[in-house]
Amino acid sequence: MSDPSVPAGDRAGAGAATDPEATTVLADDPFQGEVAALEAALAAANAKAAQNYDQYVRALAEFDNYRRRAARDLDAAQRYALERFAQELLPALDGFELALANAAAPDVKSLIEGQAATHRLLMKAFEKAGIAELDPTGQPFNPEQHEAMVAQPTADQPPNTVLQTVQKGYLLNGRVLRPARVIVSRAPDA
């Protein structure tokens, strides 16, 4: 006989553990297949979650390694960016030092030849570094590349034409490193 102090719902659960008839009732439970399917789905979802977490941890470690490598490469690039250009300038420096050492010699022709050779070395180093000379004499004035020092009236050239380059400009890979300082034409006064 059942204990009247235990509620009816609790009595079924309490007796199920000790009553062999209750286990047969649970074995015939129509939801048992669904429970097994849900448990299998849960196990598959847990396995997929573990796999995704493993991939996440690996991706995070790979990204961290990439970030460190990129920072190291950037540091090296900043530190040694001018190395090749400096190596190109060293022969020009040697030429200047040789000219200074021979400055006491009265041979003006060799001094001029030495300066011309040093100039060629500098221009070659600039060319290799992507630095181009900007001498716009005779070309239309371009405010993005030229700095007008004076506007001179003239009838020989159309207005806004560069008459003379006072100081050459330079481009670094197509970008203005220093604008050319120029004298620009303007219409004559009437």
Q: What is the pLDDT of residues 17-30, one digit of tens each?
A: 455 554 444 556 77
The pLDDT-based confidence of 85 (bands split at 50, 70, 90) is confident
Task: Name the pTM for this structure.
Answer: 0.57
Range of the domain at 94: 82-129
| Total domains in the fold of the chain | 3
C-beta of residue 62 within 8 angstroms of C-beta of residue 56: no
| Residue/partner pairs of 74-83 with CB below 8 Å, 24 or more apart | none
Encode pLDDT of 24-54 as tens digits.
445 567 788 889 999 999 999 999 999 999 9
Side chain identity, residue 16: A
148 in the same domain as 113: no
Does 46 reside within a domain? yes
Q: Give the tens place of pLDDT for each residue, 104-122.
A: 777 778 788 888 888 998 9
